[in-house]
Structures are given as structure tokens and as C-alpha cells.
Structure 1
Amino acid sequence: MFKRTHKIFLSCFIFVLMSAFVFGYNEAPMLKERVAKGELPSVEERLPDSPKVIKVREKIGKYGGTLNLSKGNEMRALLVEYALESYPNPVFDEKLVEGNIIRSWKVLDEGRKFRFTLREGLKWSDGYPVTTEDVRFTFEDIYSNKNVQQIYPSWLMNSGKRANLNIVDDYTFEISFVNPYGLFLLQLQSIARGSYHMLINPSHYLKQFHASYATEEELEPFLEKEKLTQDRWGELFTRKWQSTPWNQRKDVGYPVLDPFVVVEKPSDNVVIFERNPYYHKVDEEGNQLPYIDRVRYEEINNQEMMNMKIMSGELDFTINTALGDLALYKENEDNGNYNTLLVPIKSINTNACYFPNLTLEDEVWREVMRNPKFRHALSLAIDRDEINELVYYGFGNPTQASDAPGSPFVEPWYRDSYVEYNPEKANEILDSIGLDKRDNDGWRIGPDGNAFTINIEFFEVNENLVPATELVVSYWQAIGIKTNMKVIDGGLWYQRQGANTTTMSVWHEDASRPGSPFFFYVPYENINWGPDWRAWFNSEGTEGEEPPLEVKKLFKLYEDFLATISNEERIELGKEILKSQAENLWVIGTVNNIPIPVIVKKNLKNVVGGMDPQWGPSMAEQYYFE
């Protein structure tokens, strides 16, 4: 009976869906005008053979209006278009993945080969067809050309070998690896890897800046404008190539597959976007998306100025807020005609997370800091309840660093590991591991006879790191550990981190995503607690420092996690990685589940819902003004 009812329902749904399109598609009035003038083909000609049908959040929208935005985070959430999609995002279960730019796919050879099919008839925003030539160009002329990219993308490598690309026809291509790579499919719906440009770029546009296709004479005007010589054409190309998913488009008219395309740059900090007339999505009634005509983006880096624009109603949507100003936002809702929503950032677990450099070239530091009992003591000395109240206004939850809430990889005790505030126990541990002697100032003496010192270096990746770290410094000083903090420039921090010279740093702990799983707990990324171990792993042992057995085990778990095509096995491997974190405290967490105030104009609909407003996908194509 259930199967019969299910079939009837499915047949009715398909009938309703098809009847919506039988009389053709609908489009925005501004596009109808351009079609009437002969500036554009009809909407049926602009859409692919099988447009993606979107189920809207609230209701079918209305065309028109300009969306006013304020900062890069919103651009990242609003304008990133994925090769594949999944909701909720991020996910690690391929059963939730659905087609987008890539219409369909097959996993072959036990996870070693992936066959992808693009949407036939899909077009760039300038009307040029999207084909596998755009994929070939990306692999051969961008990733494999050292003038353009010095390092081949690590996510397209497996067991130290590059992926192999095979073009089947104009719409079908295969990517194969030497060993199984089960996570590859899921990476194509992750913001870290999944923005379509990681696989597909507008070759017809970019070839004019590439020495393999343009002559020296053709390149010369572009090089002159950028003040570059002929031997630096690769630098010209990288300036023209839209290489990151959340940046403003570099040039007006840069061909995209996103819902909006840049049409004007009136100043250095203002960019005007307009609807993409060739956008490939429609709603359930056959209306081509997006609903909104234009987006005005203004880069605002001063929080006081941001707040003024919020309160005056100049912004339609923003996540660039301060939790401490929540009362201010609420008081001015009627004046600014907006609502203030408190939305958890699911992509961030711990907002202030402390990771030591365990490969620092200092023998005293290594002897002390590599002892997990010392890290246990540091964790027990932190009063997370006080941090939550003073820094996060009581909105968070004291926790150990682990994966994000709702993660399938987390056992409850992982979050509780050494998380209680117990300075007495911390002192006992420190005494028991040989740090029982103190100098005249009360600081604990290390193996070299000097005060053992922790210098915390970081840059303000979020506004709460400074007050949280000031408290952490005081807690560690209270148990006799001489501790200092220093805020430095972001560029300098990355440089020092890469050079293995930072001692301890702070970051917000990002949740595991298919594009970057467990990068806080396995030191393979550039933000980590073992830079020289990272170099060893990524160079297959030719660089850096060979890690101890426990860290080697983590690298093996990570490689198996990437390889497996079984979601059940993937979950067990993930749990093992996080169990190691809970036992060793490679990273020390404080407070998690901090919400952010999200400002939404009262007449802006189909917005946010339960999705992460920072890492999306936001599905801005269905936003509309009522």
C-alpha cells in the first residue's frame, strides 16, 4: 500500500512540475525588455536543456529590487555556486548530494574513477556554452602550468599522484586516481573545494590572457596596463582569473555561472551586480531565478560604521555584526525596518581555540609542551563559564575542542574531556611532571632552569579573540605558567606559522567539512599544531620532521577517511581522529555554539532559515522583496 501511494504521489508531483513548464518559462521584466529589443535570446534558449528546479523556502517570489550588502562574508555565502549541492551543508553523506552545475555522476572502479556529466545547454553569463573544454583548460592550462600555478592542488592528488582527466565528449568527463578517493565526490559540494571554478573555468574568456593561446602582440596591451613584462604573463593570468569563490569579481563582465554578475565598479569599495540572464535555476512554477534584479555590495570594515548603516536601514541583509551590540540592534529594528535573528554559526565550533606549535625548534619547549599531561593541566586551568559570561554574554556552551554540534563523528565525552574548571588539579599535574619548582616571581621553572614561558601570537581573525585570550593568559598565570599574548599582522602570522616559528596561536575552530575534514586535529593544513609534521606528510617524508607514532596514526586515519566510499566506515574513522584529540588535547577549546545577530529587512523573504549564514549555501537566488 505504501509503495502504491508513494508512486501515485511521485506521479502527481511530476505531472504538476511538468505542467508548470508546458507553457514555457517565465523571466524578469528587465530581461523581457532585452529580449524584445533583440539584445537577448528567449528564456527557453538561455536556459539549459534541464534547468535545476528549486524548492523555495517560504513561497514563490516576485521579481525586482536591489539587495544591499556590506562585506565579504556575505558575498561568499550569497554568490558561491557549487559543482554539486547538498542541504544541509556541510555533509559527509553522499546520499544527500544532488546535481547542480554537474547534472549527474557515477562512481566507478571502487571509488578510483568519477564520471561527471555537465548540464547540456548550460551557458556562461555572457551566453557562451559551457563544455568540457572548460574542464580541460582548468586541468591542463591552469593547474598544470607552472607559470600560472606553482603547486598542483593537493585535493586533486591521491597517494602522491595527480588526478588523471579523460574528456569523453562535450559534456562528459572522467577524473581518476591511483587509489580509492571516496571523499572526492563530497568535496565538490563543499565551499572549500566545491565552487564550480575549482573544476570549470571560462576558457573562452581566459585564453586571451594565456601565452599558450594569445600571441605576444595580443598580450602586450594587457601586460602594459598591469605594468608587467612578457615573462610575467602568468601573473597577468592569475590577476584576471577568478581563483577564489568569495572574492568580488575582478573585472566587469567576468563570465560566471552564479546568480549575479558584476556590471559596474563605481568606486574601490563598491561593486554593482546584476542578475545573470543565463542562470540555470528555476522555481517550481518555472520562473527563472534569481528574483532580485541587482546587488549593491559595499566593503565596510569599521564596525561602528556598519552599525550606523544597519540602524538607519541602509542594509537589507548582513551577518557582519557584533554580539555585544545585540541590544542596540533590537532597539533600532523599527527605525531601520529590519528584524534581528540570532543564528548559530554551524561552521564554527569553538570561537577561541588554542593550539601550540609542537614542532618548534626549542628542546625545552618540546619536552614540556609535547607532554599531553601539560596540555591537560592548561585546559583544566581555564574557567570556561567565566569566558562564556564575560566574552560571549552567556550565549555559548563551555566545551573542549571537537567537531561542530550535530557532527556524526563526536561522542559526548569528547566535548567534556578536561573541560571542568579545576585549577587545583591543574597544579597537581604540573607538580607531578617536574614543574614543581618556582622562581622568585612565582613562575614555574622548566628543565633548563628558567621560567617556562608561553607566548601566544595571533591576529584578530574574529573580534572576541583578544578578550578571550586575555582571560586565558590570566588563568595560566594563576597556575604559575608565565604567559604573554601579542596581536600581530595577519600576513606576518601566516609567514611565521609557515616558517615554524610561532609558539602558540589562537583561531576559531572551523567545523569539519568535506573540503577540509579535521584540519584542526590532523596537521595537514596551514593552520595547525605541527608545521614540520605537516611538511613531512605533504612531501611524503622528503621535507620537515618525521612525527611520533601517535601523529603518524592520525595521518593514516585521515588518508583512510579520504579513501573510503563507505559512510559508515567514514564515521568510525572520524570518531578515531576526534578520540585522539580528546585524549591528547592537540588543541584546547573554550566555548562553542556562539550565535551571531543576522540583520534581515522585514520585507526580504526566503532568507537564512536554519542554514549557516556564514558558510552557506545561502541560496540567494530565491531571495525576494515582498
Structure 2
Amino acid sequence: KIIPAKTGAGESDLQARYIRFDNYTFLRESEKRVEQTTLLWRTAKGSHFALFPNLNANDPAWRDLMRDARFRRALSLAINRHEVNQVVYFGLALEGANTVLPQSPLFDRAYQKSWTEFDLKRANALLDELGLTKRNNRGVRLLPDGRPLEIIVETAGESTEQTDVLELIRDTWNKAGVKLFIKPSQREVFRNRVFAGEAVMSVWSGLENGLATADQNPEELAPSSQQQLHWPKWGQFVETGGKSGEAADMGAAKELQRLNLAWRREATTERRAALWRQMLQIHADQVFTIGVVSGTLQPVVISNRLRNVPLEGVFNWEPGAHFGIYRPDTFWLGEARKPRPPAIN
């Protein structure tokens, strides 16, 4: 809240970090008082908002459930992405799974739409198929050990936007007999709980590189790093050469690792693209992460004194380094001059 407020007061020459789309109206209004301009840049993450079931959760009942693709698919089908898009993002986001964006040469609409249609009937049928047919007096399904199916979704506590989206998801999950609780904490605590297997589900953004090409490493799709919130222990095992963490013991996850290794050994773009698509297909079908929306717009505030900043751009960390790709060492300050922001198509 402090950063958007100070930016709106003209205390920043260039700002995008910690500014959300719902700050846009306030920032545009501030242009009447302050010599600055608010632009809207594209983003490039595979999903702006995604849920991460922890397949390495310590609790055996939750771990078994999270590892069953039918459960992950049911949770995805029980999300009304259109409602989320309209209420939180004014209908300007893309609704779909956590996958590459339409601008990527690897994009396939089937990946984007896999298990993302809002279908409570189908979601309930999948949960029944799992044997989760018993409910308590509040209509919440019961785990095999008798505990209520209450999922605590953990966040880093840095965004009220995440809470807004989760509250909408909570309403539709309730209709499937799944209770959702939101647990915010500090980022370090949040990550350590996921890494240790204490968290059963968490929220973060999706694939870092939604604009991937065949010659860029697809390791994000396979266990490769502890930072992957859906299988941190498997990722840690790969990252440390087997010294820490746990070896992947799920067929689909091991297949993703095999395909990623095969990609590293391939020299031709054509063959690498084929391996990428196999990995994207597995990821889409298995719903290892539950994407909600992507392609959101990022407000970028620039002082009217700042020159050489692109009026259109993509705000992304990898690739892009946020402003880095636009060579901020070539930005400079001059007399105030109002630029004309381009229209957003």
C-alpha cells in the first residue's frame, strides 16, 4: 500500500514493482497533480495467479490426495475463472491453465484449456470417484481418516489481490464440498513451510517464462529446483545432486525429468520443440499446478522528466530482468514532457 501511495505522490521516477492493476485508476488520477505517466505493459508469466498443491506434503493423507491427478483436476474444474477475471481483472486477463502464452511458438489452446472449464458437476463426480463421498453436517467432504476436507492455502502475505481471488475460489469450492482457508505469512516463513512439507497448498505466479521458445530450457516443467512449490523436495534432490531432498517417485514427474534430460542432449530446434510439447502436454493433463488467469497488465509509472523509456514493453523477470532488457543505463532525465501512452489492444 505504501509504494503505490508514494508513487502516486510523485516520489518515484520509475516504478512497477509492488504496483498492481487495481492501482491503475488511482495512478492515472494522480497524473492531474504530478508530472508522471502511467503505462500498461504486458506480462509474460505462464499464470499470473496459480495454486500449487504440495506433492511432497508431510501429512500422508494429504500427500496421497495431492498426488492423485483426479483430485487436482477436480479442484481446477471447481474454479470459476470467468468470474475471477471479471471481478478482479475487469475481464482483461486470459483465463486458463499455467502454460505458455499465445505469443509463444509452443502455444496450444488445448494446453491452456485443459481441465479449466467451470464444471461443478464433473468436479463433484471426480471427488466422489476418489471415495470422498462422506460429508459432515456443514456439507464438507471427509478425508478417509475422518478429518474434514479443509485445505489451508498459504500465501506470502504480500498481496491483497491474492486474497481477493482466493475468496472467489472459496465460494465455488464450497459447492464441491471442499473448504478453503487462507493463511498469510512472511515470504521466508511461507517458503520454508512449503520446502519442509508443512504446507499442503500455496499460491504464487506460474511459469516464469510464458513466452518460451524451443531452444530455451524447459526445466520449469520438471522437478529441478527447491523453489518449485508443488514438488520442492524432488527439485532439491535434483538441485543438490541427490545430497538433499527426495527422488521423484511418481511416473509422470519422472517422465518429465527424462524428457528434460533428453532436451539437453538434442541439438535441433525441431526435436527440442517436440520434447517441449510432450512436457507441456503432460503438465496440462496432470494439472500439477492450477493456473487461474494469465496475460494481466502491469502498470508502469514513469516521470515525465524520464526519457528513453519504451511506451510499450513486457514486464517479466526471466527472461527480461524487468527493466533490464530495455537498457536502463540509457534512460536519462530532462525537462518534463508528457508522453502519449499507446492504446491497449
| 1:623 and 2:325 aligned | no
Give the secondary structure class of the aligned counterpart of 1:617.
Answer: helix
The whole-number CA distance in structure 2 between the counterparts of 1:560 and 1:342 is 39
Per the alignment, in what secondary structure is the counterpart of residue 49 of structure 2?
strand
Q: Is the 8 A contact 2:226 2:239 kept in 1?
A: no
Note if 1:493 corresponds to 2:190.
yes
Instruction: Say whether the 8 Å CA contact 1:520–1:587 is kept in structure 2.
Output: no
Q: Deviations over 1:76-111 (max 9, x none)?
A: xxxxxxxxxxxxxxxxxxxxxxxxxxxxxxxxxxxx
Deviation at residue 357 of structure 1 after TM alignment? 1.0
Q: Deviation at 1:459?
A: 0.6
- 1:335-484 equivalence runs, <5 A: 335-346=33-44, 348-484=45-181
Amino acid at match of 1:530: W
Query: Structure 2 CA distance, aligned partners of 1:440 and 1:620?
Result: 59
CA 578–332 in structure 1, closer or farther in 2 if over 3 Å, else same: same
Query: Structure 1 length as normaliser, TM-score?
Result: 0.48
Question: Over residues 162-191 of structure 1, what are the superposed CA-to-partner deviations in whole Å (9 max), with x where a residue is unaligned?
Answer: xxxxxxxxxxxxxxxxxxxxxxxxxxxxxx
Runs of 4 or more off by more than 3 Å in structure 1?
Answer: 306-314, 460-463, 513-520, 535-543
**Hey, what's the Cα distance between the residues in 2 that align with 1:380 and 1:558?**
28
* Alpha carbons 1:397, 1:592 under 8 Å: kept: yes
Deviation at 1:519?
A: 5.2
Instruction: Note closer, same or farther for the CA distance 1:521–1:460 as it changes in structure 2 (3 Å cut).
Output: farther
Shift, 1:522, TM fit: 1.6
Tell me how far 1:550 sits from its aligned partner.
1.6
Q: SS in structure 1 opposite 2:57?
A: coil
Structure with bigger RCO (C-alpha 8 Å, 6+ apart): 2
Corresponding position: 1:611 with 2:313: yes
Which AA in structure 2 matches 1:316?
A: D
In structure 2, C-alpha distance between the alignment counterparts of 1:459 and 1:402, rounded to whole Å: 22
State the shift of 1:518 in Å.
Answer: 4.4
More displaced, 387-396 or 459-468?
Answer: 459-468
Contact 1:403 1:511 in 2 (8 A): no
Aligned partner of 2:284 in structure 1 is 582
- Other structure's SS at 2:291 match: coil
For residues 3-42 of structure 1, the aligned pairs below 5 Å read none
Partner of 1:331: 29
Deviation by residue 1:477-500 (Cα, 9 ceiling, x = unmatched)? 221013222011211122222222
CA RMSD of aligned residues (A): 2.4
Preserved CA contact (<8 Å) 1:322 1:597: yes
- 1:540–1:602 Cα change, 3 Å: closer
Task: Say if 2:245 is the partner of 1:530.
Answer: no
- Cross-structure match for 1:560: 262
Question: More deviation in 393-402 or 325-334?
Answer: 325-334
Task: List gaps (5 residues or longer) in structure 1.
Answer: 1-302
Contact 2:226 2:236 (8 Å CA) reproduced: no
Question: Contact conserved, 1:343 with 1:597, CA < 8 A, in 2?
Answer: yes
1:360 positional shift: 1.8
Q: 1:509 aligns with which of 206, 211, 219?
A: 206
Question: Which protein shows a greater Rg?
Answer: 1
Shift of residue 365, structure 1, vs aligned partner = 1.8
Per-residue CA deviation, residues 467-520 of structure 1 (Å, 9 max, x unaligned), is 112222232222101322201121112222222222111101143369994455
**Aligned equivalents of 1:522, 1:338: Cα separation in 2:** 43
> 1:438 Cα deviation (Å)?
1.2
**TM-score scaled by structure 2?**
0.85
Contact 2:225–2:239 (CA<8 Å) still a contact in 1?
no
**Cα distance change on mapping 1:314 and 1:486 into 2, 3 Å:** closer
| Matched-pair contact (CA < 8 Å) for 2:40–2:312 | no
Return the alpha-carbon distance in structure 2 between the equivalents of residues 521 and 607 of structure 1: 33
1:395 deviates by 2.1
* Whole-angstrom CA distance in 2 between matches of 1:380 and 1:557: 28
Gaps of 5+ in 2: 317-321, 335-345
Where does 1:27-66 land on structure 2 (aligned, <5 Å)? none
* Amino acid across the alignment from 2:329: E
Tell me what 1:246 maps to: none
Cα shift at 1:462: 4.3
Q: Which amino acid is 1:422 matched to?
A: D
Deviation at 1:609, TM superposition (A): 4.4
Asked if the contact 2:99/2:207 (under 8 Å) is kept, the reply is no
Instruction: Measure, in 1, the Cα distance between the counterparts of 2:151 and 2:7.
Output: 40
